[in-house]
Structure formats: C-alpha cells, structure tokens
Structure 1
Amino acid sequence: MPTATRTAPAASAPARVADRRRLPGPDWLWAALLTLAVTTFRAGTPQLWRDELASWNAASRSTGELSALLQHVDAVSGLYYFLLHFWISAFGDSPAMLRLPSALAMAGSAALVVLIARSLFDRRTAVFAGLVFALLPAVTRFGTEARSYAFVVLTVTAATWLLLRVLERPAVWRWAGYAALVAVSGLLHMVSLLVLLPHAIITAMRWWHGRRTRTALSFVAAAAVGLLPVVPLVLLGQRQVGRQISWITTPHMRDISGLWESLFASPLVALAVAALALLPLGWPRGRRPAVELMLLGAVPIAACFLASQGSSAYFVDRYLLFTLPAWAILAAAGLAALRPRAVGAAGLAVLVLLGAPDQRQLRTEQAKETSDGAGAARVIVQGYRPGDGFVPVRGKEERVFMIDYQIGYHLPDRVRPRDVFTQRTAVASEDLFPVECRQPERCLGEARRIWLVTRATDDDHGDPYNKLPAAQTQALKKHYRIARTTEVRGLHVSLLERVK
C-alpha cells in the first residue's frame, strides 16, 4: 500500500524569494503551453451554444450599439463584450477564434497556478499543480467557451498571487496592482468579488502571525479602491437582474454535490480532487498553506450558497469557476506528498484517465449545443431563393434557445432570408432579441416561400409548428402549405409555399 509522508515545511520568505530567483521559468511556461494546447485542440468543433451566441451577437455590434445594449441587458458582461468586439474586428468570428481568448486566459491562469503552488509549497507541487490544472475537463470546457469565465479565473488567480506576494513583501505598487485586479475581476463578473472574503481571512491570519497592522490596513484600502469602479455596474446590474438570472433557483444542500461535480465537468475527477485535496491538511508542516487554499476554494462557494437564499440566486458552477485553481493546487499538494514518488505520478495518471471520457466528449460537435444549427443552415442554403422569408421559433419561452442566431451564424452573406415576424430588430430595440409583430398576419408580406425552423422535442409528434406562438401558427397555416420538412438533430426545418 502506498504511504503518505509529510509535505516539506513552508520555506521562510527570504528562502522562497531566493528559490524563485533560481527558477528560470520553464515550469510555469510549460504549464501555460500545455493548457493552451489542450484548450485549442479541436476548439472549433463544438457548435456555439446559446450563451456563446449571445457573446457573438453582442460583440458583433458597433461600439455605440453595444453601449446601448448594455443599458438594458447584460451589463455584467459588458467588459468582456468590448474585449471580444475588438478581437473579432482583428481576427474574425469563427468558433475557434471566438474561443481563443478564453484559451489564452486559461493558459495565463495555469502559469499563475504554478507560481502560487511554488510559493506555498515546493517545485514538485508546482509541477503537479500545472499538470493537474491543464488537464482538468473544466479547464477544457471553459477554455473553449466564448464567455468571460476564463478571464475571471485569470484575474482572480492573478489577484491571489499578487496578494500572497504583497503579504510577504509589502509595496505600494503591489497593493495598487491588487486593487486593479479586484476591479477588473468584478467588472468581468460580480460574483468573483466573493474572493475578497478568503483574501481578508488570509490577511488576518498573516497579521495575527506577524502583527503588521499596516499590512492589514493596506488590504482594506486596496480592496475598497478595487470595489469603487464596480459600484456603478452593481447598481445597473440590479435593475437587470430579472432578465439575467431569473432562471436560477434557490439552492438546497443537495445542490452542493451537484455543483461540485459540474465545477470540474466530470463527476469522477471531482471525487478524486476532493480526496486529494484533503491530504495536505493532515500534515502539520503543510497545514498553513493548505488551509489558506481551502479558504480560497471553499469560502466563495459557501458564501454564494448563503447569498443565494435571498431574492436572487447565483449558485451556478461557472460563476464559481474562479475557485478551480485553489482546488487544483490542493490536489497537486496531495499528489506531491505521496511516497514513494512514483505513487504521486501514478495518481496523476489516474486523474487524467478518469477525465479522459469527458475530455473526449467536450470535443464533439454537440458538446455544448444539442440542436444542429449548422445542419439546419445547410438545408436552407441548399434550397434558398432570393426573396425567401424566415420564421424561427421564438416566443416568450423559446427565444432563450436563440434558434434564429443558431441559424444566422452559419448562413453565408449571400443567403439572407427576411425575418418575417420581426417588427424591430434586436439592434434597433437595443436588446439581444428582436421585437416581434403583435399581429403576425399583417407582417407576412409577399414572400412566396418561408423557411420555418422549430425545435424538435420528444413530445412534438413531428409537428413542424412545435411551440410556435399560436398567432404565428394560425397566420402561416392560413396562407402557406408545407412543401417539405427536413429533420436535423433537434430541429424541424420546413419549407412553406404560399397557397395560390
């Protein structure tokens, strides 16, 4: 049976500084490059899902149009949308290009994970931490996601690393950098500000050990300065909360295990990380850094759970993704402590094998979106004629699936059927969704043919009008007949011809 030995004692501050000077850099560099390779491998294969389509839709607008949108919806994602807007302008909007910024952010996070692990433990733990983080299925999942979550991981991890540095060697410029990172984290996603709770506890613990009151006061001042730019966003976000997160339900205790599994994008990997993360707490010499990491991982989750018991809930895995680096380092410390050393390497191999099925699934076409928007677009392209109309199922309940954007993203510029029931476009209405006609029959126009796209569900019995609003169904049935219906994964694509 493999045995565990004590971790190496945490080095003194001068020793750690000297140790970092001797490290030329390849550990963090190789971790970053490995993470980048993992997150870019087949990154363009999965079809964009609705949240990514929202990012594409918003970032594709002009800066003026985007600013107008954020006054009404998605203000909490505004900074990311602007970054993505300029990225698209430079590199295009293919799936791989839309996701590459997130891959780069995850690569940067991997480098910081190694640096944090090295400062708290030793080089062996740092190497394990870089490998564990790079090969977590969740890193692949959100490193190939055109959303802000990977950037939140990057900025929160950078803030944590800088806090640990400044607690060892206080300097005004380090505190200023910390305040800036707190501000950027909050602007990218407000829930990330929960990391200030474990940061405050760690600062208090270090203060208790050294009784440096100036350091504690500097933390309070830096955190306050970092929060100031986020206050207007919080106030604006409160007005939009009904549209943004109304779908999130109040969590119960049983939901914690579900969040833990989804946080790692793999139930088996989540279980293995939980077991490994507990090991460093069992040895006195490695206990202090392990406790600090446990605070960084557990406190935001617990605080989010408690905050979600109120009128608004925030208890979602991706909102708490910024805790992932702490769990990765704890698991790495557990692996590094195992003896003989080969057992630690074997444990890493087992962790990778446990996540292999999930890694493979994350690179399939339907990893993120179950309906085949690309296939539906191909059907329309093959049969398109100039002057054709287009009716995607929207309605009050269905518009969140963004069927119109699923199709529109994949249509070439030469194929642009008129969105028949749109009274005012999403851009004109300063929203993510267009305003539809209240009297659909008056909006039909003279289109001889209309492409109707609706969702295929288990209980629709092949109905091509499935979940289409009743008034729209009535108008179409009155003036058109179904010429043909093509089934693609998750969608009905029907060609309607006008009745003479």
Structure 2
Amino acid sequence: MSVDERGPAVARTVPSLVAVRRPAPGPPRAVVVIAPLLLTVALGLWGIRRKNSMWGDEAVTYQLAYRDLSQIWLTAQHVDLVHALHYAVMHGLFGLFGGGLLTLRLPSVLAMAVAAGGVGLLGLRLAGPRAGLLAGLVFSLLPQVQRYAQEGRSYAMVCALVTWATYALVVAVPHRSRWRWAVYGSTMLLACLLHEFAVLALVAHGVTLVASRVPRPVLRAWSVTAAAVVAGLLPLAVRSAGQSGQVSWIDLPGPMRLLGFLAVAVVGVACARTPLRTRGPVRLPALALPILVLPGLLLLIASLARPLFVDRYVLYSSIGLALLLGAWMDHLHRLRRSSRMPWIAAVAVLAALVPSSLSLRTPGSRSTDVIAIGATVRGEGRPGDGLLYLSGRHRVWTAAYPEDTRLLTDLALAQDPASSNTLAGIELPAEDIAARMLEFDRIIAVRDPAGGHSPTNPQEEAKTSTLRRHFREDGTTHAAGARVTVYVRDHGPSPQAGPEAAGPGGSGGATR
C-alpha cells in the first residue's frame, strides 16, 4: 500500500482514539471518607487541651459527668433537661476512662470526624468522588467545625447524627424500603434528644424533598417518619419548655451576627446557582441550601418573639456550606480554565484560616476559663477566708475543681450542688447571708468581668449591701472572664458613699 493510500486510513483512526479518551478518574471512594475523617482528627487533637483551660459550659458537663445517673436525672428536672442525654453519655465515658480534659473533649473530636466522613460520602453520592472529597476537607477546615470539635458539649455529636441522618435520607429516597426510613428516623430522633433544635434539620429535609419533586410515596414515607420523630421529641420539648429561663441570657442578634449569617447564605446561594455536577433523585443544591439557610433563619424569626439564635445550636448547617463549596470547587476544576486560579484561591483561604485556627486553641478564644478563675481564687484566698459569688450562679465556675476553694468558707451556701441536685447549689436566706458575712474580716468575691452586679433577689441584695456598708475593696484581679475581688472588713463608721465608691462594682481598691 502506498503512502497516499495509507494516509486517509490513519487520519480516520485519530478521531476514534480521541473519542474513547476519558477524563482522569476521581479519588477512590475510601479516600473520600477517610481523608476528611483523618484531617478532622488531626485538627481536633492539635491543641486539644487549649493550654489547660476550660470554659463555663464545659465546666457544667464536667461537673455533671461525675454525678451518678439518678443525680443527673434529678438535676435535669430543674435545669438543663435539654442536655440530660449528653450528660448521661459523658458520665459513662468518665466511668470508663476517668475524668480530665481529654476525656471531656475527645468524644467531640471523634464525632466531628465521623461527621466529616459523612459529608464526604454525601458529596460523593450527590456529585461524584472529587466533589465529595473536597466537601469533606472543606468541612474539616471550617472555623466553627474546628471550634466545636474541641468542646465538651453535645454540638459535635448532634452534627454527626444530622449528617448521617441526611445520608440515610438520600439513600432512602430511591430505594423506598421501610428499614431505611427507620434508620433515618431513629438517627434524627437521637440527634433531637441530644439537642432539641436538631428538629430544624427535619424541616430542611422536607423542603429538600419538595424541591427535588420526589414521588408522592416518598413524601408520604418522610411525613410518617417526621411525625414519629416529632412525637418522640414532644415529651422532652414540653418538659424543657418550663426551663426556658436557661436561655434568658441570649440577646437579640447584633448587626455583625446578622451580617455573618447573611454572608454565608449569599455564598451558598451563589454556589447553588452555578451549574454544579449533581446526580440522583435528590439534587445537591436542593439538599445543601435548605440545611445551610433554613435552621438559622427559623431561629432568627423565632427571635423576634424570644431571642434564641446562637450559631452553635445549628452547627449542622455547616454540612450545607461544605457540600456547596466542595461541588463548586469541583466545577471549577472541570472547567479547566485558568486552572491555577482555583489553587491560588485555595492556598489564600488556607493562609487566612491559620490565624483563626491558632486563636481557637488558646484560652482567650472562649468567654471564660474556669481553671484560671479557680486558680485566681486559690491564689487570692487565705485559709479561713469567706467566699462570695455575685451572683450565686457563678458557683459553677469553681465547681469543676473543688480543691481551689477547699480552704475557704462559702458564705451563702446552704446546700451544695451535688446534694441539692442543682448546678449552683441552694443559698441561705438573705438575713443569714448578711450575718455570716459579718463574722469574717476578709472575703473573696467572684463576679462578672465588668464588675457591676445588679441584685435579682433578696440574697443578692444582702450580699451587695453588706459589702457596701461594712467592707472595703482591697484589690481586684481579672481572671479570664471574671473578676476576683478581695474585701476586708471596715471596722470604722459605715461609708456614706454609694456602691460606685466601694461596692461590688466600685473601684475603691487597687486593681491587679
């Protein structure tokens, strides 16, 4: 055959070779789950002790985990019923592994790692392996995920359960088998029992199914399952409604918090509007956007009547943000236009996260450090001094390490927290508190960092008025979210000045 005759034959074979060329395969399925899980564990273990610090909410977990189950249940009848299941879980872990900061926080690290693996698996099922891997890694790096992976509270566990409940929902839609819906419902119910506001994820799931236009039998199955979850949660919700004073500290969301929520929502909507790769009856934007926006939005709407919006209550919204960002990054990779730009942007984002990641692992990243407060009380006190909490609820700040106050006399305490099945104990009547204070020449007072204290009951009024009339301030030490003030007995004439001069909020003494 001549060269001329072979030429067309060779030319005809080239297109066929091009036609069978396939894009490079994505990462293996195992890597999609394992890589985010391991990254989350590594980030969670990094600085897990936070320089030997513990903030106030963790101190409550730490305190209750040492009580037996009957005491936890009796305490929950008065306060923190919404966290009772978490306290019971931590009690079991403390019994198995002993107390300490590692035992307190390691369950949250592991739970968040399980959540990261679940996010990767969700992304894989909805948009492919590369999108799943990116979503899982993004989830691990989010500052709010890093923060609550290192806290001895229930939020990481709730996030993990909602993640896997969401995956169970996605799997149940095409298969429609009853046992899959049972897995979805039981996982969601467990999440809700750990924290009631997990039920808002149930609302987001319903919107997802409607937006995905799933068949009516699927909607019917979800409705029955959702009704069962709500029914299972209802007794807890009714009982805990009587403890609404527990959230009285929540203020209306400020401008910065609202702007932050709006910014995240805008990012999510922008990602959802790009032509993301998605597959299956449940589309990724229809799943991710509702769970990102709806729970927080519902809390904001509820806050018009009573402030309830706290970002950690809807931490699981991070699932939606990670899925959308992971799918968007996969979209940029597939475009292959100016392929360096996505990587440059990724490096810039990682560099921007470094200061935040470092800060989250310091004692100053939380509003209080009860270990530092207790150490300050121990350092300022002398054996036989009186100890006074302004207000009594601050007693939880030193409850985690009782040895810090062992040599001091709690002047207002009638019954300690453990025996009274409370968080802060039961205090004496006002007149008895005043009488006991006058028996001491030196009192160590623990109060809010701003220093002021507005009496809310007769006991608090007795504390402040007795200090004002019979004691003078001898120095104040600022201690990680609290002020520890030494008062000495003034045996001269009662001061005529008001509380601004020498009272609990005054500045009549030296400040250290």
- Measure, in 2, the Cα distance between the counterparts of 1:325 and 1:38: 18
Cα shift at 1:177: 0.7
**Residue number in structure 2 paired with 1:374:** 371
- Measure, in 2, the Cα distance between the counterparts of 1:75 and 1:490: 26
What do the CA deviations read for 1:204-230 (whole angstroms, capped 9, x no partner)? Answer: 345x45x3x433222222222222221
Cα shift at 1:117: 0.2
**Residue number in structure 1 paired with 2:8:** none
Moved more, 338-347 or 40-49: 338-347
Pair 1:37-2:42 in alignment: yes
RMSD across aligned positions (CA): 3.2
Cα shift at 1:109: 0.4
Cα shift at 1:294: 1.1
Provide the secondary structure at the position in 2 that maps to 1:366. helix
Pair 1:223-2:226 in alignment: yes
**Residue number in structure 1 paired with 2:166:** 160
Counterpart amino acid of residue 293 in structure 1: A
Cα shift at 1:428: 3.9
What do the CA deviations read for 1:374-410 (whole angstroms, capped 9, x no partner)? Answer: 3443344456655443223215xxx3xx3x3323434
The answer to whether the 8 Å contact 2:276/2:331 transfers is no
**Residue number in structure 2 paired with 1:123:** 129
**Residue number in structure 1 paired with 2:301:** 306
Residues 232 and 346 of structure 1, relative CA distance in 2, 3 Å threshold: same
1:388-407 aligned at under 5 Å gives the runs 388-394=385-391, 399=393, 402=394, 404-407=395-398
- Measure, in 2, the Cα distance between the counterparts of 1:129 and 1:143: 17
| TM-score, length-scaled by structure 1 | 0.80
1:165-204 aligned at under 5 Å gives the runs 165-204=171-210
Residues 489 and 193 of structure 1, relative CA distance in 2, 3 Å threshold: closer
Q: Which of 416, 421, 444 is the equivalent residue of 1:451?
A: 444
Counterpart amino acid of residue 41 in structure 2: L
Moved more, 178-187 or 415-424: 415-424
What do the CA deviations read for 1:151-208 (whole angstroms, capped 9, x no partner)? Answer: 11111111100000111222222111111012111111212111222212333345x4
**Residue number in structure 2 paired with 1:282:** 274
Cα shift at 1:121: 0.5
1:58-457 aligned at under 5 Å gives the runs 58-206=64-212, 208=213, 211=215, 213-241=216-244, 243-249=245-251, 256-259=258-261, 270=264, 274-275=266-267, 278-283=270-275, 286=278, 288-310=283-305, 312-338=306-332, 339-340=335-336, 341-370=339-368, 373-382=370-379, 386-394=383-391, 399=393, 402=394, 404-412=395-403, 415-437=406-428, 438-439=430-431, 440-444=433-437, 450-457=443-450
Provide the secondary structure at the position in 1 that maps to 2:309. coil
Cα shift at 1:89: 2.4
- Measure, in 1, the Cα distance between the counterparts of 2:238 and 2:300: 22
Provide the secondary structure at the position in 1 that maps to 2:403. coil
For structure 1, list consecutive stretches of 5 or more residues without a partner in the other structure: 1-18, 262-269, 461-467
The answer to whether the 8 Å contact 1:39/1:144 transfers is yes
For structure 2, list consecutive stretches of 5 or more residues without a partner in the other structure: 1-24, 454-458, 492-512
Residues 411 and 25 of structure 1, relative CA distance in 2, 3 Å threshold: same
Cα shift at 1:36: 1.3
The answer to whether the 8 Å contact 1:44/1:94 transfers is no
Moved more, 375-384 or 347-356: 375-384
Counterpart amino acid of residue 283 in structure 1: P
- Measure, in 2, the Cα distance between the counterparts of 1:160 and 1:477: 57
Cα shift at 1:105: 1.0
- Measure, in 1, the Cα distance between the counterparts of 2:490 and 2:270: 70
Counterpart amino acid of residue 34 in structure 1: L
Q: Which of 44, 55, 63 is the equivalent residue of 1:57?
A: 63
Largest Rg, 1 or 2? 2
The answer to whether the 8 Å contact 2:446/2:483 transfers is yes
Q: Number of residues paired by the alignment?
A: 452
Provide the secondary structure at the position in 1 that maps to 2:145. helix
Residues 497 and 135 of structure 1, relative CA distance in 2, 3 Å threshold: same
The answer to whether the 8 Å contact 1:198/1:299 transfers is yes
The answer to whether the 8 Å contact 1:276/1:335 transfers is no
- Measure, in 2, the Cα distance between the counterparts of 1:247 and 1:171: 45
- Measure, in 2, the Cα distance between the counterparts of 1:485 and 1:317: 33
| TM-score, length-scaled by structure 2 | 0.78
- Measure, in 2, the Cα distance between the counterparts of 1:84 and 1:488: 28
Cα shift at 1:309: 3.1
Counterpart amino acid of residue 315 in structure 1: F
The answer to whether the 8 Å contact 2:299/2:308 transfers is yes
- Measure, in 2, the Cα distance between the counterparts of 1:156 and 1:191: 11
Provide the secondary structure at the position in 2 that maps to 1:423. strand
Cα shift at 1:436: 2.3
The answer to whether the 8 Å contact 1:278/1:334 transfers is no
The answer to whether the 8 Å contact 1:202/1:292 transfers is yes
Residues 444 and 316 of structure 1, relative CA distance in 2, 3 Å threshold: same
Moved more, 135-144 or 482-491: 482-491
The answer to whether the 8 Å contact 1:182/1:227 transfers is no
Percent identity, please: 27
The answer to whether the 8 Å contact 1:277/1:327 transfers is no
Residues 303 and 382 of structure 1, relative CA distance in 2, 3 Å threshold: closer
Provide the secondary structure at the position in 2 that maps to 1:320. helix
Provide the secondary structure at the position in 1 that maps to 2:363. coil
The answer to whether the 8 Å contact 1:44/1:96 transfers is yes
Provide the secondary structure at the position in 2 that maps to 1:453. strand
